[in-house]
C-alpha cells in the first residue's frame, strides 16, 4: 500500500455554487415552515417536525460540509467532517463523468443502482484534478462510459 496519494482534492458545493445554495436555503426555510404548520400546529406532534427536518438536513449534509478526496494506487479515501470512507478500486467495474463529478460503478456497465452501490466523486470548483483523475481511473478501472 502506498502512503502518498496519487491525487488529492477538496470539494465544498455549498461555497462553490452560491446561487444553488441560496435557493436550497430558501427551500429549507419554506419546508421548515410548512412542516411546522402541518406537524405541530395542525397535528400537535413535534416529533414529526423534528424527524422530518433531521432526515432532510441529514440527507443534504454532504452538500454543506467539505469533502477531502485522496486517490491511492489501490483505493479511494473520502474524508467528511467526522467520517472517513475508504473503498478499494477493485470494487468498481466502470466509471462515468458528468459536469460535476465522477460516478464509480460496481457494475461493468452503468446501471440505475449506481447511486446506491457505487461511489460519487465531486470535482472541486476549478476542476483542476479532472483530467488527471480520469487518466488514473482509466488505468486502474479501465472502462469509462
Residue 45 lies in a domain: yes
pTM of the model: 0.82
Q: What is the pLDDT of residues 42-61, one digit of tens each?
A: 999 999 999 999 999 999 99
Query: Domain range spanning residue 113?
Result: 72-144
Q: Are residues 76 and 116 in the same domain?
A: yes
What is the tally of structural domains in the chain?
Answer: 2
Give the pLDDT of residue 2: 55
Claim to verify: residue 90 and residue 45 sit in the same structural domain: no
Residue 79 has pLDDT above 90, yes or no: yes
pLDDT digits 0-9 by tens, 88-127: 999 999 999 999 999 999 999 999 999 999 999 999 999 9
114: nearest Cα among 96, 100, 141, 136: 96
* Residue 4 located in a structural domain: no
| pLDDT interval class at 67 (50, 70, 90) | very high
Q: What is the rounded CA–CA span in Å between residue 58 and residue 128?
A: 29
Q: Which of 31, 26, 64, 60 is nearest to 48 (CA)?
A: 31
- Alpha-carbon distance of 27 to 62, in angstroms, equals 17
Q: Based on the domain organization, do 58 and 99 belong to the same domain?
A: no
Amino acid at each position: 500500500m502506498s502512503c502518498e496519494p496519487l491525487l488529492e482534492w477538496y470539494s465544498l458545493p455549498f461555497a462553490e455554487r452560491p446561487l444553488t445554495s441560496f435557493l436550497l436555503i430558501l427551500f429549507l426555510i419554506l419546508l421548515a415552515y410548512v412542516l411546522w404548520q402541518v406537524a405541530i400546529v395542525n397535528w400537535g406532534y413535534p416529533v414529526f417536525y423534528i424527524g422530518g427536518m433531521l432526515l432532510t438536513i441529514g440527507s443534504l449534509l454532504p452538500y454543506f460540509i467539505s469533502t477531502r478526496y485522496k486517490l491511492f494506487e489501490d483505493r479511494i479515501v473520502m474524508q467528511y467532517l467526522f467520517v472517513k470512507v475508504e473503498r478499494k478500486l477493485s470494487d468498481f467495474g466502470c466509471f462515468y463523468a458528468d459536469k460535476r463529478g465522477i460516478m464509480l460503478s460496481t457494475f461493468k456497465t452503468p446501471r440505475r443502482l449506481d447511486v446506491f452501490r457505487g461511489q460519487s466523486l465531486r470535482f472541486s470548483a476549478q476542476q483542476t484534478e479532472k483530467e488527471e483523475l480520469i487518466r488514473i481511473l482509466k488505468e486502474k478501472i479501465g472502462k469509462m462510459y
